[in-house]
Structure 1
Amino acid sequence: MAVQEVSVIEGVGSLLDDDGKPKRRGTAWTASAHIITAVIGAGVLSLAWAMAQLGWIIGIALMLLFAIVNLYTSNLLADCYRSPDPITGKRNYAYMEAVRSNLGGKMHMVCAFVQYSNLVGLAIGYTITTAISVVTIRKINYFHHNGTAASCRFLINPYIIGFGTIEIILSQVPNFDKLSWLSIIAALMSFGYASIGAGLSIATVIQGKGKATYLMWGSKIQSPANNLWNMLIALGNIALASGYSLIAIDIQDSLRSLPPENEVMKMANKISISTMVVFFLVCACSGYATFGSETPGNILLSSGFKEPFWLIDLANVFIVVHLLGAYQVVVQPIFSAVETCASQRWPSSSFVNGKYPFRIGKMKFSLSFFRLVWRSIFVVLVTILAMAMPFFNEMLALLGAMGFYPLTIYFPVEMYIARKKIKRGAKRWLGLKTLSLVFMLLSMAIACAAIHGMNQALRKYKFFMYKE
């Protein structure tokens, strides 16, 4: 009897991780899929515009610089998942927990505010972009029947509402561990539309239809002041497109324990950032070579390519499907934080903690009433905010400035210094602090430019009446 009891306990234990939670199943490839879904998204389509503001030399150099810095600090962050030892220490389930474990004090509250406000902003941006992609499909079909010189505009609010409705359903997927299938589909879609955008650009250049480009400083048709503002906004676009640290800890929490999570996450960082650099450079360079100083904010939306109409339609369908999944990737940390707090606050509540299994055909599901109600309210609020915020490039730049420096640079650097007990004034300390200072100043400049751009756009905009 004793032997049977031991075997039962071991059998149950084999289904659990060292923290008593169900065994995590993530690998370097699923983690890479989550990261690629986040970074090769709406932001990649704005990089041709960013290149047009910066010129060839500065644009390419900054994309490579951001990628190198991002890889370095992401690897620092990977070692913060467990504390104090990166292999055998206690798990930190969220970014703010890693900050609290390594830095102490109230810094984790600052981290939480920056991280979650930035994630909400990304969700709003994805909602806007998806609606504009659907409108683009309608406009491209209109151009096909009436000629590309024809003029047409559509109110985007109905499509924002439709996207929000679908996200209410998808938001019932419990966590990252159950989201791998959606991230893999979304990652494939991102490869699809990025490849279409790059392919159309390269074909246009080969045909000799490309526009004039510049080695330095981007456009020559604007005033120096406007050039400077646009260059800073372009930097914000690059920062947003390349950053994913705000969801990195949550992704790492989905990985298997063997090999150690930090080693697997570092491999995922290399895979995803290498992939990111290739796609970024191909899309940015080919798009700029095609449109020159007239490069639109998004080469696949209605202000960009218009023919062949069926291929542009297909690319925008890919964008819509990708952003359906990307939205879930960026909001999962918010969902997890709120539901964990609610579970701890009301541990005996059946509304908060109850799980009710049901099936549709052969598919099994688990319904949580709290998850259903709160996540639906969240999506509704994001949808309403999206209908009031149409500023694509400026908003991308502001989000990049808000999120890239504190989450990608400051906190990983400070946690590394604290963990390694690097002495003040040492060469490594000076190097890390210099890196942090440079990107802090850069982020402040980007934020100023983004706010300036949004202020200019607000003068021409009527709330909830945006047409594309």
Structure 2
Amino acid sequence: MGTLPPNHLINTTSNTVQSDERTAEQKAIDEWLPITSARNAKWWYSAFHNVTAMVGAGVLSLPHAMSQLGWGPGVAVMVVSWIITLYTLWQMVEMHEMVEGKRFDRYHELGQQAFGQKLGLWIVVPQQLIVEIGVDIVYMVTGGQSLKKFHDVVCQDCKEIKLSYFIMIFASVHFVLAHLPNFNSISGVSLAAAVMSLSYSTIAWGASVDKGVQADVEYGYKSSSTAGTVFNFFSALGSVAFAYAGHNVVLEIQATIPSTPDKPSKVPMWRGVVVAYIVVALCYFPVAFIGYWMFGNSVEDNILISLEKPVWLIAMANMFVVIHVIGSYQIYAMPVFDMIETMLVKKLMFKPTWYLRFITRNIYVALTMFIAITFPFFDGLLGFFGGFAFAPTTYFLPCIMWLAIYKPKKFGLSWTINWICIVLGVLLMVVAPIGGLRTIIVQAKTYKFYS
């Protein structure tokens, strides 16, 4: 499982020769694939890509997660998650170029370095795909729900329109945007999404403050049974894990930044990550704590649903959410496109053509749209995906890789911190999907398909 320490890893010379030995065809393929096609990004690209990846649908569920956790555990889980995920994100940024002259442009390449060529793929790729496809499905639901809320708020006397149709409307945008070739080409969409995330988060807690503490507010657990309370607690842990999910695309984002021995990519990347995490704190903590403070355990699973007035502000916030999740969907879809296109071109020997990209990406958008229409359980989906795949890739897989590659001194500070993160992450991975699955089952009892 272990590898040699970083100072004994592959040297620059052998790696440079290796890269120069690529055939013209291999170079053309690398220049065509989404992740390796452009390496001219600036540090601020890292900042808004990370904000877009991190601050998504999850922030709107945080007050509801707080209502299931309670004040003490809720505040502790929020703060500890912020610290652990910032630490593991730092580890990934550091490991991107731990081998001299080589860059790990994709999460699974880092996994292969830590665990071996075959095992690394099997450990990382399934989890990363579950995360990225899962996020895109949840964002389809979120985009459709926010469009529906916007319609219902603006036009209260209009005829009721099914959520399914709004999800289709939201998906139609992605049938166009999905054909942007790489991360740099979606930087404008990502910047708009990052600005929107800060905007609707501010509206969410600002409108909550304006509304004030509700007359009949209660902070006790809502469920009448002990089992219900425990399962809801587990599901809420998954919702928090879902909110801290940027790790699954961080190496792919860093791959777009230029790097030289004098100016390694980790310097501008880390600067962008720090800015992004400050924005994350400004979005998450006020929304979670103020939203719960004002509404207590009666808060909806999406805080904007609890806020009815002022009408124009809530309508605007919902439209901001739509714009944001458009960008977030693309950020998480890009590594999936890269995996699909790499497999088709390098393994199955398809030619890298525009129509191959056109067909595969349209199929992907259509598939996520269909699943979202079929299972639009926002709260349960957050808990299930948050625990099942986000906990490993965000909370403890980077720590395991760090231990495997760097081999820190046993019982030293680095070793201890990593093992604490691993234990907490594994617990989260075990309990959160149980709560999320129960929520889905409970909601499914009264749900009519394609309503």
Counterpart amino acid of residue 112 in structure 1: V
* Aligned position for 2:320: 318
**Quick check: 404-413 or 115-124, which moved more?**
404-413
Shift in CA distance, 384/23, structure 1 to aligned 2, threshold 3 Å: closer
Shift in CA distance, 462/419, structure 1 to aligned 2, threshold 3 Å: same
Is 2:418 the partner of 1:405? no
Whole-Å separation in 2 of the counterparts to 1:63 and 1:314: 27
Q: How does 1:81-100 map to 2 (within 5 A)?
A: 81-84=96-99, 88-100=100-112
Contact 2:68 2:222 in 1 (8 A): no
Structure 1 residue matching 2:308: 3-state secondary structure: coil
Q: How does 1:430-445 map to 2 (within 5 A)?
A: 430-445=416-431
* Aligned position for 1:31: 46
* Aligned position for 1:297: 301
Q: How does 1:417-428 map to 2 (within 5 A)?
A: 417-422=403-408, 428=414
Counterpart amino acid of residue 114 in structure 2: N
Counterpart amino acid of residue 91 in structure 2: L
* Aligned position for 1:74: 89
Shift in CA distance, 420/213, structure 1 to aligned 2, threshold 3 Å: same
Whole-Å separation in 1 of the counterparts to 2:391 and 2:57: 20
> What are the superposed Cα offsets for residues 201-236 of structure 1, whole Å, 9 maximum, x if unpaired?
01112xx5465354xxx4256333222211211111
* Aligned position for 2:7: none
Q: How does 1:206-285 map to 2 (within 5 A)?
A: 209=214, 211-214=216-219, 218-219=220-221, 222-257=224-259, 259-285=263-289
Q: How does 1:176-215 map to 2 (within 5 A)?
A: 176-205=183-212, 209=214, 211-214=216-219
Counterpart amino acid of residue 90 in structure 2: N
TM-fit CA distance, 1:162: 1.7
Contact 1:52 1:292 in 2 (8 A): yes
Contact 1:210 1:292 in 2 (8 A): no
Is 2:108 the partner of 1:58? no
Shift in CA distance, 290/106, structure 1 to aligned 2, threshold 3 Å: same
* Aligned position for 1:380: 366
> What are the superposed Cα offsets for residues 150-205 of structure 1, whole Å, 9 maximum, x if unpaired?
xx853111111222221010000111121111100111111121111111001112
Structure 2 residue matching 1:353: 3-state secondary structure: coil
TM-fit CA distance, 1:102: 2.4
Whole-Å separation in 2 of the counterparts to 1:82 and 1:309: 50
Is 2:122 the partner of 1:136? no
Contact 2:38 2:182 in 1 (8 A): no
> What are the superposed Cα offsets for residues 253-278 of structure 1, whole Å, 9 maximum, x if unpaired?
11121531122222222221222122
**Quick check: 167-176 or 101-110, which moved more?**
101-110
Contact 1:47 1:237 in 2 (8 A): yes
Whole-Å separation in 1 of the counterparts to 2:363 and 2:377: 24
TM-fit CA distance, 1:81: 1.5
> How many residues matched?
416
TM-fit CA distance, 1:400: 0.8
Whole-Å separation in 2 of the counterparts to 1:401 and 1:440: 9
Contact 1:213 1:293 in 2 (8 A): yes
Contact 1:211 1:293 in 2 (8 A): no
RMSD of aligned C-alpha atoms? 2.2
Counterpart amino acid of residue 124 in structure 1: I
Whole-Å separation in 1 of the counterparts to 2:405 and 2:214: 55
Contact 2:132 2:333 in 1 (8 A): yes
* Aligned position for 1:361: none
> What are the superposed Cα offsets for residues 443-462 of structure 1, whole Å, 9 maximum, x if unpaired?
21111111111122222222
Contact 2:37 2:182 in 1 (8 A): no
Q: Please, which of 179, 185, 193 is the counterpart of residue 172 of structure 1? A: 179
* Aligned position for 1:287: 291
**Quick check: 227-236 or 253-262, which moved more?**
253-262
Whole-Å separation in 1 of the counterparts to 2:325 and 2:143: 7
Structure 1 residue matching 2:374: 3-state secondary structure: coil
Whole-Å separation in 2 of the counterparts to 1:44 and 1:229: 21
Structure 1 residue matching 2:345: 3-state secondary structure: helix
Counterpart amino acid of residue 243 in structure 1: A
Whole-Å separation in 1 of the counterparts to 2:103 and 2:425: 29
Shift in CA distance, 431/198, structure 1 to aligned 2, threshold 3 Å: closer
Q: How does 1:337-352 map to 2 (within 5 A)?
A: 337-345=339-347, 352=351
* Aligned position for 1:10: none
> What are the superposed Cα offsets for residues 48-99 of structure 1, whole Å, 9 maximum, x if unpaired?
1111122222212211100000011111111222242xxx331122100111
Contact 2:249 2:332 in 1 (8 A): yes
* Aligned position for 2:10: none
In our comparison, the structure showing a higher alpha carbon Rg is 1
Counterpart amino acid of residue 258 in structure 2: R
Contact 1:83 1:101 in 2 (8 A): no
After TM superposition, the score normalised by the length of structure 2 is: 0.87
TM-fit CA distance, 1:313: 1.1
In structure 1, the gaps of 5 or more residues are 1-15, 147-151, 355-367
> What are the superposed Cα offsets for residues 12-52 of structure 1, whole Å, 9 maximum, x if unpaired?
xxxx9xx9866512222111101111221111011111111
Counterpart amino acid of residue 117 in structure 1: I
Is 2:130 the partner of 1:125? no
Structure 1 residue matching 2:304: 3-state secondary structure: coil
In structure 2, the gaps of 5 or more residues are 1-26
TM-fit CA distance, 1:108: 2.1
TM-fit CA distance, 1:343: 2.4
